[in-house]
Each structure stands twice: as C-alpha cells, then as structure tokens.
Chains A and B, each alone.
Chain A
Amino acid sequence: MDFQIHITGFMAVYIFMLAAFAGWVIIGHVPAILHTPLMSGSNFVHGIVVVGGIFALLNASTALEQTIGFFAVLLGAGNAAGGYAVTHRMLAMFQTSETTAKPKHRHAESGHATANAAKAR
C-alpha cells in the first residue's frame, strides 16, 4: 500500500474547505466568557508551524537557508510554547462556586463566605 502523501491542487482545496468549516463550527459554540483563552488557544494551535520550520531547517543546504530556517524554528517554537503557557494559565483560573467551596482549595476563603451566606439565610 502506498502511504506517501501527495497533495494535489484539488485535494488541498478540499482539505482547506473542510478544515475551515470545522474551525468555524467548533469555535461557534464557544461561550463569550472563554473568548480570550480561545484566541490564545487557537494562536497556540498555529504554532504547529514549528514543525514546518524544522523540516525547512533540516533540508537547508546554504548558510542563508540555515539562518532563515533557524529563525523559522525559533519563532515557531515561541509561538507554540508561549501560546500554551498563557492559555493553560488562563483556563486554570476558571472556577465554579462548587469548586471554590471545597475547603482544601486555594480559594478556601470564598468557600467560607458561601457557608456564611447559607447560615445567614
């Protein structure tokens, strides 16, 4: 069987079309509250460009190509690593009242407040 990837013009257009549609549908369901992490999350996903950078650099045969390829990997790696770091940080912050109410959690204070509220009522 032949697993070699040959992407012809039309096949590329089909892939692009389906991927664009998938992106549109997936993102369309994200609530506004998550728009910032989503933007940085999708920003992280295009960090996959680093893989293309590695490919280009490994195939470089002149000093010029090596220099540019080096920057392609450098920038792509920054895109991917930075995008992950900030997205992960942001998403870890989102808590519900239930999770914050658990006393072992770092926001134990708010749990205390919720308990007081229950007593007050």
Chain B
Amino acid sequence: MIITASQLIIGIVDLAAAFLFMYGLKRMSSPVTAPSGIFVAGIGMLAAVVASFLYAFDVEAAAKPHLLTNVGLAAFALAIGGGIAWWVGKKVAMTAMPQMVAIYNGMGGGAAGAIAAVELFGNRATGATQAVVTLVGALIGAVSLSGSLIAWAKLQGVLKKPLRMKGQQILNGLVLLATLIVGGTVIFAALGGDVGFISTPQLIYLFFGLALILGILVTLPIGGADMPVVISIYNAFTGLAVGLEGFVLENPALMIAGMVVGAAGLLLTLLMAKAMNRSVSNVLFTNFGDVAKHKQGAIKGSLKPVEAGDAGIFMRYAASVIIVPGYGLAAAQGQQKLYEFVKLLISDGVSVKFAIHPVAGRMPGQMDVLLAEAGVPYDLIFQLDDINDDFKTTDVALVIGANDVVNPEARTDKTSPIYGMPILNADMAKKVYVVKRGEGKGYAGIVNPLFYEDNCDMVYGDAAAVLTAMIEAVRGLGAQAAA
C-alpha cells in the first residue's frame, strides 16, 4: 500500500507530539523545569491538531460530499470548545482547581466516548478485537464523563450530601451487568449477528445511556472529601479510554499519550490513597461517614483560647516556626496574609518553614499551588517525610485551618477511623497554636486531642482576620522599639 504525503506528514507530526508529551511530563518533575515542560507538551498538541486537518485529503468515499461541512464543523468546534475552556481556565480561582480539572477530564472522557459512538454508528469495526476495544473504550470514557460531572457538582457544592441508599452496591452491580450485556449485543450486531427485536442504533443508544448512568451511580455515594481520589481515578480512566480509541483509529500518538496518562493516573491514585491511609476500593465502596462513628474516650485537658496578637508576638520571639496550613486557610483566602506574616517573622530573624500534608487542600498538592500563588517561594515548603522529624526541635507549630492531618490519634488510637494515617507531628513542637474558626470537628468528624494538650493554645477566628491581628501586633512591636 502506498502512503500519501498527508499521511506521512501526520505520521511524523504525531510521532513528534508523542515524544514532546513524554519529554514535557518528564520536565515536570522539578519546579524549575516544569513551566517549560508544559510548554513543549503544548507545542506537540498544537502541531498534532493542525496536522490532523490533513486527514481531509484521505477521507472515506462516503464522507467526500460532506467534507467541506465537516472541516468547517471541526474548525468551529475547536474554536468554541478550546476558546471557552481557555478563557475559563485563565479566570478560575486556584481554590476551584480540583473541580476545574474534573470538568476538563470529563470532557476528555466524553470525547473518547463520542469517537467510539461515531465508529459504532458508522459500523466501521473491521473485526472482533476492534469492536471489543471500541466498546470498552466507550464504556470507560462515558463513565469518566458522567462521573467527573458528579465529582464537579460535589466539589462545587451543587451536590452537598453523598447520596446513599440501601442495596446501592447491588444496584450498581446490576447496572454494570446490564451495560456489559448490551455492549456484548452491540458487538454481536457489529460483527453481523442478527439481534432481531431491537435495531443496532437503539442498542448503541441504550449502551451509552447505561454507561452514563453507571458513572453517576458509582460516584454519587462517595463523600466530598474523597473526591480527589475519584478525580484521579477518572483521569486514569480517560487516559485509558483515549488510548483504546487510539488503537481503534490506528493512531499511536493517542495510544501512547492515553496509556502514559492512564499509568500516571493510577500511580497518583495509589499515592493519594496511601496518604489517606485507605485502599482505593475502600474509598470507592465504603461510606466514610459511617466508619467515623466510633466511640472516643474521654479527652484530658481543656481548650485554651488565646488572643491572636499574643500568639503573633510569641512567634516573633521564637527561633523557629513551622506552619501547617490546611484548607481552612484557603477557604478564608488567608494565604496572602500568611505570607505577609511570614515575611515579617523572617525579616526579624525567625526561621520559618511550611509543612504540607499530602492531602492538604481538596486535591494532592493543591496547598503547594495556593501558597505559590501567594508568592511563597517553594524552598520554604516541605513535604511530610522531609519535615516531620524537625517538629520536635521547633519552638512553635502554627496550625491554620488544618485538623485531621495533625491528629495524634492517628498514631495511638487503634479504634480511630484515621488510625495509621501519616500525620504531621505538630504536637511534638514545644508550643502549638491552632487557628480555627470554632470548636468544630474536622472532615473525619472526630475530636482532635491535640487541641486539649498542655502545649497547645487555640486562636479562634477567621484565618485571614487572625493573621491580620498577628501582623499588626508584630508591627506594633517594631514601632515601639523605634520610638
């Protein structure tokens, strides 16, 4: 078979794109090279998209009369879809990043599903393998689409409570079974089998309908706190779906990019689940809220509220401070104020570090991004394993808007739902300040005995307001000294 010039160009460009994707991801392994990493990957994407219009020279005979319309539609869809997503992506707040990633991810899954649908409706599968792979890719893509939308709704606060009912697992199992049976029938029909009572297009509609419902049903019962793991799983799912549809279209660039993301997403999911001390199946199939109903023993000690200004001045005269930020800080939009306070401390000679728990924020690494947005240099930011031994030689641990990730119960109380979860050893610092809105519990719904310890004082209030008071108090000291 002779290859046409357009096919050759597409082949070369796609090869280059596949290389640039992997090279770009590789460069993302350090904050120094990461911005250039996404840039080279972006070049690869742009080149692949532009080159893909060369497919116009080799379309199927049946599509030739529609070619002009199709090219126009493709350009229009690119401009609209790309334009809107770009505009939203540039505007969205960093705190809303998890739900944004969920949306983009769902779109990718939907695109993979749609490609499969075109292949199925056009009855293009050339053999059993192709038909099966198309179907599997379609199933995964559709589940990823509807599941990601539910994840978005939960993170955005549109859906507030996990929806649970009796026999949910059985229902999900039945829907999965029905989807597989219909999918099997679609394959049977695609290979020339006679189903009789139902037409092939109807079967395909039914298949996609069931797959979308399955994604919704599987995601609904999972609690908001577990959404990061869910997004990560769907990210891997979409990658897998893209890879499978790449096989169907005989496009190795899609296969490679999809599978790289599939494996990367799987690894990220496992890392995240490990940081939460739960297995992936536990996240997906156990209702977290139910586990948390354990009986806590009586807690010794008392809550000791102090003024924000006093805590600020105490830290000004400490030699070393480690800050443990949690989502409460971001919810109060206090990152800027925090860094302002940190700069004050540093300029007065205090050693300040940030300690980040792997699940701080609403997705792993989100707290790092939020701090970076506020201007905090990343060499002040340390991850759990790198800083946990430093707490015992540190004067002050300042916990802001975090709760479960500093709960010492995770080390000692075997009956606790968070037992075994790696925590930041804030309680081992000589002095602990906890900035909190009130006496409420954390996401896990359990009381934190750290707050009652002798070395721990509570600073109640909105994180931004508390930090403002601390800054004023420390500035006041400087003014007194100058006068």
Contact = CB atoms under 8 A, between A and B. Distances in A.
B121 A64 contact: yes
A23 interface: yes
A116 B85 contact: no
A60 B259 contact: no
A118 B57 CA distance: 66
A64 to B, nearest CB: 6
Contacts of A36: 97, 101, 361, 363-366, 368-369
A86 B105 CA distance: 12
A26 B29 contact: yes
Interface in A37-80: 37-62, 64-66, 68-80
B365 A71 contact: no
A20 B255 CA distance: 10
A19 B49 contact: no
B267 interface: yes
Nearest to B339: A110
A90 B104 contact: no
Contacts of A30: 28-29
A61 to B, nearest CB: 4
Contact of B104 (A23, A74, A79): A79
Contacts of B110: 71-72, 75
Contacts of A96: 31-32, 377-379
Contact of B260 (A20, A29, A90): A20
Interface string A17-37: 001111110111111111111
B361 to A, nearest CB: 8
Given A27-B264, A75-B107, A81 B379 contact: no
Contacts of B384: 32
B381 interface: yes
Nearest to B368: A33
A100 B346 CA distance: 14
Interface stretch (B210-218, B232-240, B291-299, B466-474): B232-240
A75 B117 CA distance: 14
A82 B349 contact: no
Contacts of B239: 42, 45-46
B92 A86 contact: yes
B347 A116 contact: yes
B235 A39 contact: yes
Contacts of B251: 5, 51-52, 55
B89 interface: yes
A58 B358 contact: no
A8 B203 CA distance: 28
A112 B195 CA distance: 76
Given A7-B247, A82-B100, A43 B378 contact: no
Contacts of A48: 17, 21, 45, 48, 242, 253-254, 257-258
Contacts of B8: 3
Given A55-B249, A94-B31, A60 B114 contact: no
B26 interface: yes
A2 B29 contact: no
Contacts of A4: 1, 3, 7
A5 B3 CA distance: 9
Given A73-B74, A114-B346, A51 B89 contact: no
A78 to B, nearest CB: 4
B174 interface: no
Given A97-B377, A97-B379, A81 B267 contact: no
Interface of B: 1, 3, 7-8, 11, 14, 17, 21-22, 24-26, 28-32, 34-35, 37-39, 41-42, 45, 48-49, 52-53, 55-56, 59-60, 62-63, 65-67, 69-71, 73-74, 76-78, 80-86, 88-90, 92, 94, 97, 100-101, 103-105, 107-108, 110-112, 114-115, 117-119, 121-122, 129, 231-232, 235, 238-239, 242-243, 245-247, 249-268, 271, 339, 343-344, 346-349, 356, 358, 361, 363-366, 368-369, 372-373, 375, 377-381, 383-384
Given A45-B21, A52-B242, A78-B104, 12 more contacts: A24-B263, A38-B264, A43-B235, A55-B249, A57-B77, A60-B66, A62-B122, A66-B70, A77-B80, A82-B88, A85-B86, A94-B35
4 closest A-B pairs (Cβ-Cβ)? A85-B89, A35-B365, A82-B85, A23-B263
Interface of A: 2-7, 9, 12, 15-16, 19-24, 26-62, 64-66, 68-97, 99-100, 107, 109-110, 113-114, 116-117, 120-121
